[in-house]
Chain A
């Protein structure tokens, strides 16, 4: 899996472990992981863009497009927004992850 710059803040293993409890084909599991990953991207981008001054958005998007895995992007965000942005990203990803885990468990066949 290729790296995105905020991966170290988002703990995906919990979702991965939860899905491993269920009888899923590899393709089925990969598809679900992909959907979850995309959802997380949306939420985290939203957090970042909501905190980053709007006149800095083009600069950020440009850096993101050039190399989504660059550690420099997080350093850039910490400079432009403040160090607290990492905690904001963690908070949002925890919230989304809990919602997704809840959704997975709701669909368990008893």
Chain B
């Protein structure tokens, strides 16, 4: 880099500073608007998004890299000196969380696979909130599915846009793709408009039996819109695994003996095998008006972002 011996020009420093500060505030607001939860996680750990370099300097000055909040499956999370006091909690591993869920579900779920009773639903909502910091309900805004505890079968990938092929699906393409669109059509009108959010919605989708709802035909315009990409929590009581998905297809048919369908990724994660090993699942609506609950496997408590416990899935 070459430098002049003496700067040539004068500059309106005050105005430039104000303009750059404005850009900085705008960029911060944009980041917070688009990714509020991620920003909240970072700030809960005592770091503002724009202050990464200062944080790196502090770590260097302290002479140690801050201990990661992540831990390998065989190592506990040590105390993290650089985090605020409120975050010094005993961490919970996904395995322990799953076992806890399994234990609690055993106390509540009926032996028979059937629609749950109101008191069972209330207890489950409480358990899910305590473990995952997520608000769920079997009935939301006066709407409920024909069942919330039933068997789930494997579905194929859905075409996301006209011309989509199974080869374009990066995850589990060997599970195939349906020849026709899902019940709510394509996710977008072209490949160019396929966003990461829509990729995620197809990746983690479920089919539910909206066609068998008693008022489906009479309230079709409202219900079709209400159920489209409605967020649900799907729990496999046998594995203790939970995944947040969206409703993107209707079915399966009643003669299959199943009440729900899961995308390849949903089924793969839940360890619900189709065919002879049909597994029952719980499906509750996620009450998420601000769309902050992320799709995919749920392995941490959303209301305690400092407990960022996960391991490679």
Contacts and interface: CB of A to CB of B under 8 A. Distances in A.
Contacts, number: 182
A39 B196 CA distance: 23
Given A61-B308, A107-B11, A13 B1 contact: yes
Nearest to A3: B56
Given A2-B54, A50-B35, A66-B69, 19 more contacts: A2-B53, A2-B57, A3-B56, A17-B1, A21-B4, A21-B9, A41-B52, A54-B294, A55-B294, A58-B41, A61-B45, A62-B70, A64-B52, A65-B66, A67-B59, A68-B59, A69-B56, A103-B20, A109-B10
B169 interface: no
Given A41-B50, A43-B27, A109-B11, A20 B4 contact: yes
Interface stretch (B174-182, B254-262, B282-290, B295-303): B295-303
A13 B7 CA distance: 16
Interface of B: 1-4, 7-13, 15-17, 19-21, 23-24, 27-28, 30-31, 34-35, 37-38, 41-42, 45, 47, 49-57, 59-60, 65-70, 196-197, 200, 203, 294-297, 300, 305, 308, 310
B80 to A, nearest CB: 9
A58 B300 contact: yes
Q: Per DSSP, are chain A's interface residues mostly helix, strand or loop, or mixed?
A: helix
Given A2-B57, A61-B42, A46 B34 contact: yes
A35 B21 contact: yes
B68 A62 contact: yes
A42 interface: yes
A75 to B, nearest CB: 14
Contacts of B196: 50-53
A13 B176 CA distance: 49
B153 to A, nearest CB: 23
Contacts of B310: 58-59, 62
Contacts of A69: 56
A91 B33 CA distance: 21
A45 interface: yes
A60 B305 CA distance: 13
Q: Per DSSP, are chain B's interface residues mostly helix, strand or loop, or mixed?
A: helix
B20 A24 contact: no
A53 B200 contact: yes
B42 A64 contact: yes
Nearest to B50: A38
13 contacts: A2-B56, A20-B4, A24-B11, A32-B16, A35-B20, A45-B38, A49-B31, A49-B35, A54-B200, A54-B296, A57-B35, A57-B37, A100-B20
B55 A68 contact: yes
B27 A65 contact: no
Nearest to A1: B53
B295 A55 contact: yes
B27 A39 contact: yes
Contacts of B67: 66
A103 B65 contact: no
The 8 closest A-B pairs by CB, nearest first: A55-B296, A38-B50, A54-B294, A66-B68, A42-B27, A2-B56, A62-B69, A22-B11
B11 A23 contact: yes
Contacts of A17: 1-3
Contacts of A41: 49-53
A9 interface: no
Nearest to B298: A55
B72 to A, nearest CB: 13
Contact of B49 (A20, A35, A42, A63): A42
B68 A42 contact: no
A22 B294 contact: no
A49 B2 CA distance: 36
Nearest to A53: B200
A69 B52 CA distance: 9
B52 A35 contact: no
